[in-house]
Amino acid sequence: MSQQPTNNYYISWSSIFDNGKIRYDIKKIKVAVKNVGATNVYVDRQFGWLNQPDVVCFTLPENKKDMIGKELAKVYKSIDYFIITLKNWYTPKEIRNGSNT
């Protein structure tokens, strides 16, 4: 059986988290993505910009991406959609470690 391609993703800090009623809970989101098999789970500034909030980033096989929304729905019962985006920026630490190749 061939190995599934993996990608780097992040859970976007979308406008749903800006209303003050629903919190972007980093700890719970990290647990949720790990539950579906994500690896290399860490926190970075959205887009790598200092003026943006921290978001959860991770590596996951492409065929498991759809499972994340279901797992996050268990954490956030009042939200039925999430923005799960390919992470296409690199922090200086990642560049030094060769992750951008």
Residue where the block lists tokens 């629903």: 22
At residue 34, the pLDDT reads: 96
At residue 95, the pLDDT reads: 53
At residue 101, the pLDDT reads: 42
Q: Is the pTM value of this prediction over 0.85?
A: no
- Contact between 41 and 57 under an 8 Å Cβ cutoff? The reply is yes
Q: Is 35 exposed, middle or buried (0-12, 13-18, 19+ CB in 10 A)?
A: middle
Residue where the block lists tokens 């470690």: 97
Q: Where are the beta strands (DSSP E) in 1-101?
A: 6-11, 39-45, 54-61, 84-86
Which residue stretches of the chain have pLDDT < 70? Answer: 1-4, 91-101
Spatial distance between the Cα atoms of 92 and 95, rounded to a whole number of angstroms = 5
Which pair of tokens denotes residue 55? 């978001």
CATH code at 6-97: 3.30.70
